[in-house]
């Protein structure tokens, strides 16, 4: 699926949602090296996964046990969603 991203006067066309995610989640800080870029990319990806889980759980497509399993594959104790 193609995506056009319009941000002010800047228009960017993406060939796919995969391409859009890759560009937007890039860990390329203005200053820093490869380690800083890798750290920023990992943080961006973790936040994106969290937002996706929030949307899916909010629509009732995932329950709390499924969310916990996706994130860390094991869990102990009681779990529940809270607002």
57-78 pLDDT per residue, tens: 999 999 998 998 888 877 677 7
Distance CA 22, CA 65 (A): 29
| 11: its two tokens | 């228009």
Residue bearing tokens 């995932």: 62
Please give the model's pTM, rounded to 2 decimal places.
0.75
Q: Are 13 and 4 in contact (CB under 8 A)?
A: yes
55 CB-contact burial (10 Å; exposed 0-12 / middle 13-18 / buried 19+): exposed
Q: Are 35 and 20 in contact (CB under 8 A)?
A: no
pLDDT tens by residue, 38-61: 888 899 999 999 999 999 999 999
Collapsing DSSP to helix, strand or coil, 3 comes out as strand
Q: So what's the pLDDT on residue 29?
A: 66
């Amino acid at each position: 699926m193609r995506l056009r991203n319009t941000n002010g006067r800047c228009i960017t066309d993406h060939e796919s949602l995969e391409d859009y995610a890759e560009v937007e989640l890039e860990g390329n800080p203005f200053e820093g090296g490869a380690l800083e870029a890798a750290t920023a990319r990992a943080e961006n990806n973790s936040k994106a996964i969290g937002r996706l889980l929030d949307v899916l759980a909010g629509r009732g497509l995932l329950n709390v046990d499924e969310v916990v399993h996706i994130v860390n594959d094991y869990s102990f104790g009681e779990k529940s969603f809270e607002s």
